[in-house]
Amino acid sequence: MKPKQLREWLFQNGQEDQWWLCIDTVTEESPLTVAEIEEYIASGDYGTVQALHVSQSEMSNPPWIDVELPSQQPAHSPAMRTPIHSTAAAAASPQNGGLKYTNYNEVPYYHKQWFFWLMFILFTPIAIGLLLFGDVYYEKRGQLKSFGIVNRIVAGIIGLVYIRMLFNWVDTL
């Protein structure tokens, strides 16, 4: 299976982009994205490369998928290959759209969408502060996303309305 087909599988099954990678019978320590798998296999000369989606790792007989290697690979020895964690998984890389994190599990709880909505309901100023001065992250079709400029503008407007209502309430005391 080619990396493009792994992406199609993700889209068809609505899963997050997280795969266990096994290269020449050695499994990586943490899950990788399809883009990271492509970069990893392009950086070395390997005999066999297999991937397993994290959602299937608890199965009694997990369906490891043989990943097709590119036809033209550079001739590197396994000892000379670059570790994936120093390249593709680096924070704010272009592969993840410049985001600080590479997957939703890395995001601190106070930057997650569920926390934002909880604070919006319970204590609106914290939620507005999160939007105005930080990022709020969520997953969409297995990809990590953050709230955009439209969300920040709306938060600013809500913040102004909230402050105006607060001053009106103080004036009535």
Q: Residues 66-101: pLDDT tens digits?
A: 888 766 444 444 433 434 433 333 333 334 455 677
For residue 126, what is the enclosing H or E element? helix 124-133
Interior angle at CA 43, CA 42 and CA 49, nearest 5: 60
pLDDT at position 144 over 60: yes
Q: Give residue-wise pLDDT tens across range 95-132.
A: 445 567 777 888 899 999 999 889 888 888 888 888 87
* Distance from chain centroid for Cα 100: 10
